[in-house]
Amino acid sequence: MTDIEIRNVSKIWGDTVAAGDVSFAVPSGTLTVLLGPSGCGKSTILRLIAGLESASSGSIFIGGKDVTDQPAAKRNISMVFQSYALFPHLTVAENIIFGLKVRRVGKAECHRRLRKTAELLGLGDLLERKPSEISGGQQQRVALGRAIISERPICLMDEPLSNLDAKLRHEMRIELRALQQKLKMTMLYVTHDQAEAMSMADQVVLLNKGHVEQIASSEDIYKKPASLFAARFIGTPPMNIIKLRASGGHLVIDGTEHPVLPNGDGRTLVLGLRPEDIHLVAEGGHEATVRSGEYLGADTLLDCALGSSRITVRTSHVRPPAPGTKVRLHWPREAQHFFDADSGLCRNGLPAVI
């Protein structure tokens, strides 16, 4: 068993709640992504699991055993640090095999694994250089190599691809995911890049200011965001958030008289719509005005005014209509997401009018 579980873990630095009552589990042999904006507590949680920081409260379990009070060396985890943490006086090769030497892995085995790892990471020509003689992206790959070569069953990775160019990053995330699946590693992977998270994860743990906002599969977090924060953080361009106003017995799109919901319990709600769920139609729908268009090749993004809200519509039109053009927008009822404007919590399941 190599699963990880953290229960009600908090880490407080003075006034900062870096992690506040965080609980989640990473099942054995799966990949969980810790996702969230800068400063939300991702590295702190990883360091707590690795045993490099001690929790203010809560418990950490690895393979079903409580390791909360165990030192890092006893946790049998490999980790890629956000800061790389390479030894400056050792060569690339020595940095990569350092951990194996400490564990007294045989010379032939060390070299076999070094060749394989260097090939995977494209470091073959740099093995004799010192960290100061290679680029930031190459240093990051050395840090990654050190974790991969250990072939430990649990791996924690803190933004391991952040310094690579877009193409290499894309290739590496496919390679990493394949490696994790092949070796059936239990991996906790930190990133602030939602596309990276969505493409790699079995499970996403979305963090906001030290707190868990939502835990779900990539598909569920996209299709059923539990809060306004999740709705806006996942997806590019982000979900449109449209103001609603009480008018008569209904909630209508603010700036229009289009009813969306019966005016239920008097709470202030907003309507969320993904850009790709909105379609241009010849008649019916809601009138909107094009403000600008952006042609992106595979699709075109239209920035439109709908009542008092500005929204983005993703279409496959080759030429965006000129600014000022009136268009009609339609979206299916099931594409509508409702959120409480004050708490930000999802209020789906209300009886919609359209």
Q: Name the site residues for Mg ion (rule: CB under 5 A).
A: 43, 82
Minimum separation from the CB atom of position 40 to ligand ATP (A):
4
Minimum separation from the CB atom of position 46 to ligand ATP (A):
8
Q: Which is nearer to ligand ATP, 37 or 323 (CB)?
A: 37
Amino acid at position 196, single letter: E
Judged by beta carbon distances under 5 to 8 A according to partner kind, the member of ligand ATP, Mg ion, none in contact with residue 337 is none
Judged by beta carbon distances under 5 to 8 A according to partner kind, the member of Mg ion, ligand ATP, none in contact with residue 253 is none
Q: Which is nearer to Mg ion, 157 or 241 (CB)?
A: 157
Judged by beta carbon distances under 5 to 8 A according to partner kind, the member of ligand ATP, Mg ion, none in contact with residue 40 is ligand ATP
Under 8 Å between Cβ of 201 and 190:
no
Rounded distance, CA 110 to CA 96, Å? Answer: 10
Minimum separation from the CB atom of position 207 to Mg ion (A):
11
What long-range pairs does 298-307 form, CB within 8 A, spacing at least 24? 301/237, 301/275, 302/327, 304/329, 306/242, 306/253, 306/255, 306/256, 307/242, 307/243, 307/253, 307/254, 307/255, 307/256, 307/258
Rg of the chain, C-alpha, whole Å: 24
Positions in the binding site for ligand ATP (CB under 6 A):
13, 16, 18, 36, 38-44, 82, 192
Minimum separation from the CB atom of position 229 to ligand ATP (A):
14
Judged by beta carbon distances under 5 to 8 A according to partner kind, the member of ligand ATP, Mg ion, none in contact with residue 39 is ligand ATP
Rounded distance, CA 147 to CA 100, Å? Answer: 10
Judged by beta carbon distances under 5 to 8 A according to partner kind, the member of ligand ATP, Mg ion, none in contact with residue 38 is ligand ATP
Under 8 Å between Cβ of 140 and 164:
yes
Q: Which is nearer to Mg ion, 82 or 218 (CB)?
A: 82
Q: Which is nearer to ligand ATP, 205 or 270 (CB)?
A: 205
The β-bridge partners of 315 are: 300
Helix axes of 92-102 and 136-150: crossing angle, nearest 10 degrees:
20
